Structure formats: C-alpha cells, structure tokens
C-alpha cells in the first residue's frame, strides 16, 4: 500500500501571546490554547493533497507526547487523515527521542513517504526530520516549498539562502515542509464528528523499545526585553545625530 506517514506536534497556538512563568522555569501553558504545530499542519495538508491526486492510498498521522496530544490527533483526523498513532510520552520529548520513536513507527507502517514540518514553533530545533532520515538511511529533503511525487521518486523545490534549489530523491524518503508549500484546509463540523470514529492507536515508548532520555537541561527562560519607544526626527541630520548618541554610528 502507498502510505504517507505525517508527524505532528502539540504546541501553544501561534496566536497566543507567550508568557514566561514567574520562576523562569518554563512557559505558561495552563489554560492556554494548544494546536497542531503550523508547519506540521502544512505537512499534513500536502499528504492529503497527494492522496487526493491518487499518489497515496492512506495517510497516517503520528505524534509523540502526553495524553493531551489526542486532541491534536483528532484535529488531524478531521482534516482527512485515515488513522492516528499516539506514542505516549510525558515530559520533554527531545528531537532524538521523537526521531527514534518515529523510526519504529516507520518500520511498522512501511510508508512510501514521511512528511514533517521543518521545525516546531515552541523550541525551533528543526532536527527531527534530519535525524529520522539518517537513522532510516533514506534520502531527505528539507524546507520544501513545492513537492511532486511519482511512484518511485519525489521532486522537491526547497528554499535556501541563495534562492530555490530543486532535488530529485528516491522513495521512500523524508521531506520537511516550509511555510509556502500550501495553505491548510479549514476543519468543518461534520469532519470533526466523523473523526471521532476513526482509529487512534495508543503506544508507549517502552513498547517501541525507545528510551526517553533527556540530554539537554533547560536552565532558564526569559522573556525578550521590551522594545523602547521610537522617536521622530525632523531631518536626516537629526537622525544621524541621534544614532551617534546611541553609539550606532
């Protein structure tokens, strides 16, 4: 079966104003709206479009995280995914642990293509897709802004510093998606109701043989400094003088 596996992550909604906890140990999440990571949502949308064009027979969505992640998996099912896989993991899930868990799911599901967002908006690591491809020993293409899939290959247009780069890679492969690849569809109420009947399997890291190791220690969180109020100058000479006073010239 031509199957696409899509990895998603539960994050604080991008419309929410982030607040640091008073003790600087993390970000306030209590009572805060959580959503599917926007880049992962783009990855899922692309997988659904490939299926609708006849390039795949099934779209499976997976996540690694706490029990609350099932809400985001149901959203993905409402968008059009056929099945969901939830690897339950409490606490911080580092990219390497997520990649190892996804590798076990890849070995189980045997997908033709694995799609992930290029990064998560909470930690901005941008590592999981690359790690998964390396451990799977399959081709990868990151920061995809266009994706064309055939039975055996994929042509990926990716955004790089100098412009656009086009890669032809053999399938199976891992592709991470960028912002301009597509615009995800809206979820409708009937689709939300249908999603409740779609299969959602729950697994643990132990069942997959993955050790939940934490190799990095987050020491302190700080909010960015407040921006100073701007000033209005009369002419270029006054602007230059103001910049000199600030030591910028």
How far apart, in whole angstroms, are the C-alpha atoms of residue 108 and residue 100? 13
Q: What is the DSSP letter of 21?
A: -
Q: Which domain holds residue 89?
A: 3-245
CATH of the domain at 217: 3.40.50.620
Q: What is the pLDDT of residue 231?
A: 80
- Give the Cα separation of 236 and 233 in Å (integer): 8
Tokens of residue 130, six digits: 């690359």
| Beta-strand relationship, 200-204 and 83-88 | parallel
User: DSSP per residue over 88-100, as a string?
Assistant: E--S---HHHHHH
pLDDT tens, residue by residue, 49-84:
999 999 899 999 999 999 999 999 999 999 999 999
Cβ neighbour number for residue 106 with a 10 Å cutoff: 21
Calculate what percentage of the chain has a pLDDT beyond 70. 100
Number of domain units in the chain: 1
- Determine the pLDDT at residue 61: 97
Q: Is the pLDDT of residue 1 over 70?
A: no
| pLDDT of res. 122 | 85
CA 155 to chain centre: 21
DSSP state, 40? H
User: CA end-to-end span of the chain, whole Å?
Assistant: 63
């Amino acid at each position: 079966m031509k199957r696409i596996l899509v990895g998603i992550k539960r994050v604080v909604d991008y419309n929410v104003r982030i607040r640091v906890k008073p003790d600087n140990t993390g970000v306030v999440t209590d009572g805060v709206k959580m959503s599917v990571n926007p880049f992962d949502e783009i990855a899922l949308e692309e997988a659904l479009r490939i299926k609708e064009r006849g390039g795949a027979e099934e779209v499976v969505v997976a996540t690694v995280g706490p029990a609350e992640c099932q809400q985001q998996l149901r959203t993905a099912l409402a968008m059009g995914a056929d099945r969901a896989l939830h690897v339950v993991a409490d606490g911080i899930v580092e990219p390497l642990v997520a990649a190892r868990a996804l590798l076990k799911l890849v070995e189980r599901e045997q997908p033709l293509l694995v799609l992930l967002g290029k990064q998560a908006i909470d930690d901005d690591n941008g590592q999981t897709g690359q790690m998964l491809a390396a451990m799977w020993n399959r081709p990868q293409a990151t920061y995809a802004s266009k994706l064309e899939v055939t039975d055996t290959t994929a042509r990926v247009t990716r955004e790089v510093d100098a412009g656009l780069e086009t890669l032809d890679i053999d399938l199976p492969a891992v592709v991470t998606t960028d912002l301009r690849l597509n615009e995800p569809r809206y979820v409708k109420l009937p689709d939300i109701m249908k999603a409740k009947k779609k299969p959602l399997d729950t697994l643990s890291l132990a069942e997959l043989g993955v050790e939940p190791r934490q190799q990095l220690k987050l020491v302190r969180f700080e909010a960015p400094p407040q921006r100073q109020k701007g000033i209005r100058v009369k002419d270029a000479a006054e602007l230059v003088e103001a910049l000199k006073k600030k030591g910028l010239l």
